[in-house]
Amino acid sequence: MMTRPAMPWHSVEMARSAARSVLPRAIFDFIDGGADGEAALRGNLDQFEAYRLVPRVGVDVSGREQSAVLFGRRYNSPLGIGPTGLAGLARPRAELMLMQAAEAMNVPFTLSTVSSTSIEEIGDAARRPHWFQLYILRDRAISIRLMERAAKAGFDTLVVTMDCPVGAHRERDLVNAFSLPYRPSPAAVIDTLRHMPWLLRLALNGAPQPVNMVEAAGSTGALSLLAFMDSQLDPAVTWQDVRDLRRRWKGALVIKGVLSPDDVEEAINVGADGIVVSNHGGRQLGAAASPLYQLPAIADRSKGRLTVLYDSGVRRGMDAVRALALGADGILVGRPTLFGVAAGGMDGARRILEIFRADIDRTMALIGARTLTEIDARSVATNQPMQTVGRPLGCPAIAANRQISNSILEGQNGQLA
């Protein structure tokens, strides 16, 4: 008999709908929304359709393996959980649930600087090392102290987010008069009361706040902590600051928010082990470049010198496989597991990871890839009619992509496709 999944979802979109119904509008919009007119956010979802997968047939795909080694640790899948601040808005203790779901599935989990569960609480509950995301704050001593706390709590990978020199302009939040601690605007009171289970959980557990900041801010009031956090965003952060962190951090160091191939050289120069190609899920710059379109050139430039992770817009295993084919070594997601935890707690987050894992496995079978190393530039094609065979390609977009693909293949396999 088939066992029924704990959460009756078959896609991330189903979990998103479930999250939409359990969360007050302003909270759902805070998680789901993007910057400015949300062009980057929409683009993140659409960009995958620019590429389609090219199956190889007649391959024995009965033994498939999607395990991946990232920063010296073997995971059961290349897809893990990226940092999302104040996840407690989705559900109290969300970070703990996300961490436990990641452990249950043996995939990476990243705790945000502005988490609503503390570094130490996650460290105490963890059964293996996790990743800690760091913002370089105006007061550098605070960042160094956060980093030291993370090391002490057993985190082994530091993800330094570089794409937030200033706060973003998020219009959904402005329209909803979204505030922290959450106080519904007069127009949103009825909507909030309609989400009683969420409201009761909030009442019982208190308003989520960036608890890691308590020590530095010398206060436990959520309002002052958030005001403090805002005041700590620093437009003057440079690569020199990362160099300083590198000297102090013993584990792997990853730069998050890279969209330019030129920043690959900077990351290598400061001694980073990896990068996350990301536009922050479309939450920072509404006109940010499509991370998937940037990925081949970035992977090409890194030429195996860095571990290249990808995030932004991944909603299906086949999206993850497309990013792997375009040069990523691993994938992170933000909203999908947050939707899962909002609507179903730990089981919900785990269900999302299971869906991704099953999707990646099925996609691998369908394209004839037995291992992740068999997913490469030959596995993907631009989604346009092929113009000629054996003659120069007429369409500049295809020609450009073919060139990029070839240079990736040269790097990976020492041969042309």
Ligand X SMILES: Cc1cc2nc3c(=O)[nH]c(=O)nc-3n(C[C@H](O)[C@H](O)[C@H](O)COP(=O)(O)O)c2cc1C
Span interacting with ligand X, options 15-23, 79-87, 201-209, 346-354, rule CB under 6 A: 79-87
| Least gap, CB of 90 to ligand X (angstroms) | 8
CB atoms near residue 93 (< 10 Å): 21
Phi, psi dihedral angles at 270 (to 5 degrees): -90, 0
Is position 176 an interface residue for ligand X (rule: CB under 6 A)?
no
Q: Which three-class secondary structure string do you get for 182-202?
A: CCCCHHHHHHHHCCHHHHHHH
Sign of CA dihedral 92, 95, 96, 97: positive
Minimum Å distance from CB 202 to ligand X?
16
Footprint of ligand X on residues 105-164 (CB under 6 A)? 112, 114, 133, 161
Q: 324 to 383, contacts with ligand X by CB under 6 A? A: 333-335
Of 82-101, binders to ligand X (CB under 6 A) are 82-85
For residues 14 to 53, the per-residue mask of contacts with ligand X, x marking binding by CB under 6 A and - elsewhere, is -----------------x------------x---------
Using the 8-state DSSP alphabet, how is residue 170 labeled? B
Question: DSSP readout, 327-377?
Answer: T-SEEEESHHHHHHHHHHHHHHHHHHHHHHHHHHHHHHHHHT-SSGGG-SG
Query: Would you call 53 helix, strand, or coil by DSSP?
Result: strand
308: tokens are: 């290249």
Query: Segment near ligand X (CB under 6 A), from 9-17, 53-61, 264-272, 274-282?
Result: 274-282
Nearer to ligand X, 82 or 340 (CB): 82
Least gap, CB of 411 to ligand X (angstroms): 25
- CA–CA separation, 287 vs 36, rounded Å? 8
10 is catalytic: no
Q: How many residues bind ligand X (CB under 6 A)?
A: 22
Q: Minimal distance in Å, beta carbon 291 to ligand X?
A: 9
Q: How far is the CB of 44 from ligand X (least distance, A)?
A: 6
Interface with ligand X in residues 276-315 (CB under 6 A): 278, 280-281, 283, 311-314
Applying CB under 6 A, the residues found at the interface with ligand X are 31, 44, 82-85, 112, 114, 133, 161, 256, 278, 280-281, 283, 311-314, 333-335
Active-site residues, by number, are: 280
